[in-house]
Amino acid sequence: MTDLLLELVTAYGLIILAGTVFMAALGAPLPGTVLLVLSGAFAAGGDMDPIMVVLTGFTAAIAGDMAGYFIGFKGGEWLKEKLGRTPLGKHVNKADVFMDKWGGVGVFLSRWLVAPIGPTLNYVAGIGQFDWRRFMLWDVLGEVVWVGLYVGIGMLFSASALALVDLIASASWMILGALGMYFMGKRLMIVARKAKA
């Protein structure tokens, strides 16, 4: 998969980056983070313009996030019910809990720290009628961090970008798993206290 990505990014660069990041923001299982790191590595080697890489990644991420938000906003509870019956159902529930607890800060964190729930959170924020201006503000701040961080990592560690991509993917899932365990443990404690009483 990584070899194919390298060939495609070398040949079509910014178009592939924009399409992949946009579709990943909508929830497609595409490696947006991987492409940002690789594009950063290519920019460090002079094969891509670093400013265009950052602008393309940022614009595509915001466009995808806002599209997901407005799909959720228009689809409402019907969409939430439909998503709940798909493999995304577990992510919908996690995103719902995360959004209730963290609000706008949750949107910010889901862009770069717990990125696997980011696309689902876009829909959940729309379904929950979260104010779109607040969503946009936190989304922009989070995407600045996400794009800047991963393009910067790619540029800084361009010689070992592929090994770094695997590490980044693993770390995101570990953080998401730890958050899931925290919320589940908290919920279990509440249930145990109620059962005792």
Write the pLDDT tens digit of every residue in 144-172. Answer: 999 999 999 989 887 776 565 666 666 65
Mean pLDDT, the chain, integer: 83
What pLDDT, on the 0 to 100 scale, is given for residue 171?
62
Q: Which residue has the tokens 């992510």?
A: 91
Q: Is pLDDT larger for residue 164 or for residue 37? A: 37
Q: What is the mean pLDDT of residues 13-37?
A: 91
Nearest to 66 by CA among 77, 54, 74: 74
Confidence of residue 26 (pLDDT cuts 50, 70, 90): very high
Nearest to 88 by CA among 118, 126, 65: 118
Spatial distance between the Cα atoms of 9 and 114, rounded to a whole number of angstroms: 25
Please determine, for residue 58, whether its predicted confidence score (pLDDT) is greater than 90. yes
C-alpha torsion sign, points 12, 13, 17, 18: negative
Q: What is the mean pLDDT of residues 81-96?
A: 74
Q: What is the mean pLDDT of residues 164-188?
A: 65
Query: Does pTM top 0.85 for this prediction?
Result: no
Give per-residue pLDDT as tens, 102-127: 889 989 999 988 888 889 889 888 88
| Residue partners of 157: CB distance under 8 A and separation at least 6 | 41, 164
What pLDDT, on the 0 to 100 scale, is given for residue 163?
64
What pLDDT, on the 0 to 100 scale, is given for residue 84?
74
- Please provide the DSSP assignment of 162-178 as one string: HHHHHHHHHHHHHHHHH
pLDDT over 90 percentage in the chain: 34
What pLDDT, on the 0 to 100 scale, is given for residue 105?
92
What pLDDT, on the 0 to 100 scale, is given for residue 40?
92
Confidence of residue 134 (pLDDT cuts 50, 70, 90): very high
